[in-house]
Amino acid sequence: MSDETVPQTVLPLEVIDRSVGKRVRVLMTGDKEFNGKLIGFDDYVNMVLEDVTEVDGGAPIKKMLLNGGHIAMIVPE
């Protein structure tokens, strides 16, 4: 046996699950970006964000539901 440590596999949904309750940046396929607190998500990566701001400006949004099919990238902050 080798003393080398085997890298642990991290699944994509685990990364999202660890971000629940924390702020994330979500990049959409239509070139929109949102920052907000991740409240929850489902198996289709539909997401509910709270205290949301659009990166390019715009009024603050109290709560938002994002369609997982239009999410290009999620960046935990």
Beta bridge partners of 23: 37
pLDDT at 1 over 80: no
Neighbours of 47 (CB within 10 A): 24
Global pTM value: 0.85
Domains of the chain and any CATH numbers:
12-76 (2.30.30.100)
DSSP 8-state class, residue 9 = P
Q: Rounded to whole angstroms, how far apart are CA atoms 20 and 1?
A: 38
Please, are residues 33 and 58 in contact by the beta-carbon 8 Å criterion? no
pLDDT for residue 7:
81
* Band of pLDDT at residue 2, cut at 50, 70 and 90: low
pLDDT tens-place string over residues 22-67: 999 999 999 999 999 999 999 999 999 999 999 998 899 999 999 9
What are the φ and ψ backbone dihedral angles of 17, each rounded to 5 degrees? -60, -40
